[in-house]
Structure formats: structure tokens, C-alpha cells
Structure 1
Amino acid sequence: MIPGAAMDRVSLLWRLRRRARRGVLCMALFCILMALLYALCAENSVPVTDAIFGVRARTRAQPRAHSVTKVLRGGPKPMYTDPQKLPGVIPGDPHHPIPVLSSPNQTQAGDSLSKQKSKQRESLGFFSLLPRPFTRALETLFGGRRKGELSGRKGDTELLGKVWDDKMSSKMLGSRLRRAVANYQAMNKYGVEVSNYSSSKTKLNGPKLLCQLKKKVEVTTLTPDLQPFSSMSWATQLPPKQLSADLGPYKSCAVVSSAGSLHRSGLGKEIDSHEAVLRFNAAPTIGYEKDVGSKTTIRLINSQVMASEEHRFLSSSLYSSGVLVAWDPAPFSADLLQWYNKTDYPIFTQYQRYRRLHPLQPFYILHPRFEWQVWLRIQENMAEAIQKNPPSSGFLGTVLMMSLCDVVHVYEFLPSQRKTELCHYYQRFHDAACTLGAYHPLLYEKNLVKRMNQGSNQDIYTHGRVTLPGFSQLNCTHG
């Protein structure tokens, strides 16, 4: 017989052990559910939102949903995230390439993708009966990396083409990116009103396209004499001359994209051999010199980088060397006063703050007319409607350098043999949208660059290098 006191102690110990086992079981169940929820949200941000709220609700809410912390006075203001981070995070393996679709293989590519999806459904067994967002999350948790919608198995890259095809169309995108593009078309935040596209339109060849850019795109920056800035006390902080009057002409220039395919490229020495080098936003060089070089002549930054806390624009040494050129998208038909009162991000407040800290560093702001002139050239040369959003920084920077240089080499804007879903060489963020576009009309920009390229396809495949002539080298007197 166990004494009463001892029995009480045993009973208490047994109850504690039982509670501990239950606690461990509940914690394990909680961790599994949280992991599933994380995978569900990360893998299916667009589909899950659509399923719960509907496409229209997401479209209406998008300007508010994708916001960043505002660091300036004046309270909260709707702001957009880095367009390259849309439409969602796809964690994964950077060694799996994104095949570049080419027009002749479109049917074969579609058949291949449908067969692949069928096999994936079979491998899931019972779970294939669940809604697609849940199966995608389960694939992430238990099936290794879920391949992107445009990522194929080994051999698909060769099937779909080694080098970017200038016939690339939104119809070749996966359903996720097609939905994202359609949503941005419906939003039309900037009030774009054009109908200048036709499926029967004759495409301009490379030389004519280059001359069209030269004649119809004017690279201009803000100066103190422009209204409404001339009446403002801080107007003296603006450079008195146009950017093109102060910089260049350069003989040879490099435009270095921030693409993940620059990782392990070994292009650093080649890039630094150019007289001038353009980089974008927060792309670093320290620690990446072997692949991207160390020279920075001009850095093109968007207003979001200037305003977000994450990028530490006012305090980081990344921005304090070389020439800065900033841009912010204005409404399509707005004048400078309307734009000043309705910027996407507080570019002018941050500009003034930065100039007080670095009064001697050259710092220009692009005239918003330039961005929409470039956009119109893209739309005019496409047989379908493109996103009604500004061009990417990559394409704007390329056109900018064509106005300053005799020859421009653009690195990894068109993906090389190293093509990957890794968005930036300095981050571990994976999404096919970074190569194919969602917010920006990136896919169409690449079509134009491919058409204007004066280098070889081998240069693109091996080095990701496109060769473009500067505007000063073009003879556009005929036609």
C-alpha cells in the first residue's frame, strides 16, 4: 500500500507529466499549422487573396495593401512596394533556371507545362483534391521547392530557346503573372489613355527603332527656372543645367542591372573597363566586385528607395559617391505642378534633405515627361496593350546612357545562360516576375532591347551583354 501523502505526490507528478505531454503535442501542432500558413501565404499571395476576397477586391485594395513605412511628416499615404517584389515571394533554389519562351515553341511549351502539372497532381495523390493554394503550400513544405510557373524541368530551357526572343508575349506567361498584368491594366493608376497598338502593325527594325527613340524621347532633368519650382526657396538646390550638359560624352558605358543572373558571372573587370558605369537603386558593389565591378559613375534611384526606411537613403554611404539621378512617376497627362502635388513618394522632401547633407554631390531629378515618352515608344511598337505603368528603372537607365555615350553595353537585362528566378544578385528573393515583369512592362522592354541589339546572340547567351549605339552615333537623316 502506498501512503496517502506518497499517492498524492505520484498523482501530482503524473498530472504534470500528462500536461507536459499535452503541451508538447499542442506546440508541435501549432508549429505545423504556422508552417503551413506561412507556406500558404508566401506561395499563394495572389491566389489566396482572390479566393477569399475576389479579384476586384484585391485590385481596389492593392494601393493600400502594398505599403511601406513612411519616414516623413504628414501622416500615412498610400505607397507602392518595389514593383519587382510583386506578385509574391517564391522561396526556392537559384540554380533552377527560368526558361525564356520563344514564339515558335509556344505550343510545345504549353504541352510540356500541362504534362508537368499533370504529373505533379498525380504525385500528390489524395491532396490533389484540395484547392490549388493548399496543394502549392503542401508542395513547398513536403515536396521541396515548388517550381515557378515558368520554370521547367531539365531540358525545357533548350526547348523554349536559349536567347530572348523579341516576339515574347503576355500570352506566354503563366497564369499567376497573367493575372498580375491584368490587374495592373485594370487599375490604371496613372490615367493612361492610349489605343496605339494593333495586331497587324508592322514592326520597326532595329535601326528605325533606334532613330525613333532618338527623335521622340528627350532626356531632360528639372532645373531652377521651371515652374512651379522657380518660386520655391529650395529651387537653388536643383542643378542649373541639364544632366546632358554636365555629364559626358562618354566613349563606352556599362549599364549594370541588378539581376540575380549576375551572381557568379565574373564580369567585374569587364564592367569596370568602361569609361562610365550606371547602377540602380540599392545595388551594392562591396563584396560583389568580382561579378559586378566596383566603379559607379551614375546611380539611378526611384523615389521609393529615397522614402523607405529600409534603404537608409539619407545615412547610407552607398549613395554618397558618383552622380545621383532620381525619378518618380507622374500621372500620364499631368503638368509639373500637378505632379508636385501628387507624387508617388515624397521625392522632393527627401531631395531637399539629402542636398543639405551632401551639397556638393551632383543630384538630378528626371522630368516625368521622359518616362512617359519612353513608355509610348514601347506601346507604339507592340501588337498588344502593355501595362499602364512607367517603364522599369533598367530601361530608363539604358535610354539615359544612350543619350550620354557613344556605345552602351547593358549587362543581364536580357538574361544569359545563368538565368535564374533570383531577383537581385545581392538578395535571396526569388520570383519569375523579376525577369518577365508584372508591374512594369518589362517583357516588352526586353523585346525592344533585343530588336535594337547590335551585338551577337552569343554575347547575350554567354555574358548577358547587349550592345547599343549612343544617339550621337546614329544617322537618322533618311526616313
Structure 2
Amino acid sequence: NNWKNKIKLNSGPVIGYENDVGNKTTFRLCYPESIISDPSQYDANTILVFVPFKPLDLRWLVDVIVKNKVSDRGFWKKPPASIIYRNNQIRILNPSIVKRAAFDLLKLPMDIPIEKPPQYPTTGIIAISMALTMCNEVHVAGFKYDFINMNSTLHYYSNDTMSSMGKMLYHNISAEQILLKQLKSSNTVFDLTGNF
């Protein structure tokens, strides 16, 4: 809680994890499949920063805001039919932040052969891109990719492991790990937990 702005990601809970993550969240970045939906985790002081990856994500957001029936077709995981945040708490992330994360920071290819799936930065890298845009100093806690122990957990709140992340075709976690080390060694980002 010592920082002016705190960014949390996806469905990572706060309540029950205050000793690890504090109890303050300024911004929560997520997309339909990753949004937090547990009402007990609601915080009236948090701004939900919506990260659309596809046109369908925006359609979903409009539907939940105006309380239309929500379709789960076209999503890799069923998104919730409603959200816990009020409309005045919702912002849509400027696409240039995602573009910067993908092409300037990660150097992902802009032209992808039709037979290959596109690659996207993870929400963590997008959050770092956003923080670098709006903050003079960026401190990161808990972001890690443990390539030595593929059974290590990815998040403080779930049992998802590195082996499951390694199978993801949509993220280049090797490139992300290299970027994290570069950002740390250049003192662009400070690693509070010594994970990268």
C-alpha cells in the first residue's frame, strides 16, 4: 500500500491475500475471460481497465454494461454474464498501450502467416507498458516465469503452472522474460520481489 498507484491483473483476488498484495487497487486490467466476478472482491475505489483483444471483447463489454444477454461464443473461456463494477469505474485501455507492449517492447512480428496463431503480450506486460506510460517510476512485484521448475505456480491465487503457460501459443513468454530482465538491468523497472 506504499505506492501511489497499484495495478492488479485479471481475476487476482485481494481479500484474503492482503499480506501479499495489500488492500489497495488503483487499476485492475482484464479482458472478458479474465475479469474478476466475485462480488466479495468489489472495491469502489478501483478503476477497471478493460483490455480488448478482439472485436468480440468490445461487444461483450457493451452487452454487460447495457445488461443485454451475453453470448459466450468465440471466447476461449466462458466470460461472466455481468460485472461487479459500476459503469463509472470502467475504462477501455488505449490500444496504443497494447501496441507498444507487443511491437516496441516485445518486438513481436507485425505480419503473421495465416497458418500461425497471432501472439499477444500477457496482461502483465501490458500493465508494465501502461505503467511506463503514466508513471515516473515503476515497481513490479510477483511477476515471474520460472523456466527451471515447470511445476511452479504462475499466480499467488491459483494452481496454474509454468507447464500450462509454456503450451500457450498466443504468448511468447521467453521474449517476455528477456524483456523483464532488460527493463530491470536498465533500471527502467524495479523488481520488488526478485523474481526476474
Post-superposition shift, 1:373? 3.9
Unaligned runs of 5+ in 1: 1-271, 331-338, 467-479
Aligned to 2:50: 326
CA distance 1:403–1:319, change in 2 (3 Å): farther
Q: Give 1 or 2 for the bigger CA radius of gyration.
A: 1
**1:10-52 CA deviation, whole Å, 9 max, x = no partner?**
xxxxxxxxxxxxxxxxxxxxxxxxxxxxxxxxxxxxxxxxxxx
Is residue 79 of structure 2 the alignment partner of residue 349 of structure 1? no
Q: Where in structure 2 are the equivalents of 1:254-333 lying within 5 Å?
A: 272-306=1-35, 311=36, 313=37, 316-321=39-44, 322-330=46-54
Aligned partner of residue 453 in structure 1, secondary structure:
helix
Aligned partner of residue 6 in structure 2, secondary structure:
strand
CA distance 1:283–1:345, change in 2 (3 Å): farther
Which has the larger share of helix?
Answer: 1
Q: Where in structure 2 are the equivalents of 1:44-59 lying within 5 Å?
A: none
Aligned to 1:391: 121
* Counterpart amino acid of residue 423 in structure 1: L
Q: Where in structure 2 are the equivalents of 1:53-132 lying within 5 Å?
A: none
* Counterpart amino acid of residue 404 in structure 1: M
**1:276-320 CA deviation, whole Å, 9 max, x = no partner?**
1110111112222222222211111112234xxxx5x3x624244
Post-superposition shift, 1:437? 5.3
Post-superposition shift, 1:343? 3.9
* Counterpart amino acid of residue 421 in structure 1: S
Aligned to 1:127: none
CA contact (8 A) 2:142 2:193 kept: yes
Is residue 146 of structure 2 the alignment partner of residue 413 of structure 1? no
RMSD of aligned residue pairs (Cα, Å)? 3.6
Post-superposition shift, 1:356? 10
CA distance 1:356–1:286, change in 2 (3 Å): closer
User: Percent identity at matched positions?
Assistant: 22
CA distance 1:463–1:362, change in 2 (3 Å): same
* Counterpart amino acid of residue 374 in structure 1: A
Unaligned runs of 5+ in 2: 68-81
CA distance 1:390–1:449, change in 2 (3 Å): same
Pick 1 or 2: higher relative contact order, CA cutoff 8 A, min separation 6.
1
Aligned to 1:372: 99
CA contact (8 A) 1:372 1:390 kept: no
Q: How many residues align?
A: 171
CA contact (8 A) 2:15 2:41 kept: no
Distance 1:345 1:302 in 2: 12
Distance 2:85 2:153 in 1: 35
